[in-house]
Amino acid sequence: MRIHLATDHAGLEFSTQLQHHLAAGGHEVVDHGPVEYDPLDDYPSFCIRAAQCVVADQSAGIEALGVVFGGSGNGEQMAANKVRGVRAALVWSLATAELAREHNDANVIAIGARQHTFEQVAQFIDRFVNTPFSGEQRHARRIAQLAAFETDGSLQPDPREADSFDPEAG
């Protein structure tokens, strides 16, 4: 599997270690992060490029996922989710790594490099990469709703609009 990595200065050390870890596991690793430590660098460009490549690879039929890092993972997740076709999840445990794939078919995960040890991060990523999407109808339906909103802004009908509740009448 091809794994696209991106980070800013906060995750640079983890990114380097992870490239070796993932390559040893037989994965092709593509690094989209900085080439040297710069405490003033900005994560959006790195994370967006990685996310774009995940979508491009998947569209071309290449098995690919992405991992983005930063101090907390929050901004990195937000950046990746700006790319159409990305479902990026913030991962902080083995369970969230597994559920991101199993229920949400996430194709990118974000991890806070300052929140975890390297061993934890490696376990999260391994669990994410090795967990398939369940394909359950309820999960597929929800993912389709996200894609529809992303494509044309459509939403399921608001159940409150069908009610004729008048707050003044009680």
Active site residues: 76, 103
Q: Count other Cβ atoms within 10 Å, centred on residue 24.
A: 8
Helix%, strand%, coil% for the chain, nearest 5: 50, 15, 40
Token pair, residue 144, equals 């389709």
Token pair, residue 75, equals 């901004």
Furthest C-alpha separation in the chain: 67
Question: How far is Cα 111 from Cα 13, in angstroms, rounded to an integer?
Answer: 13
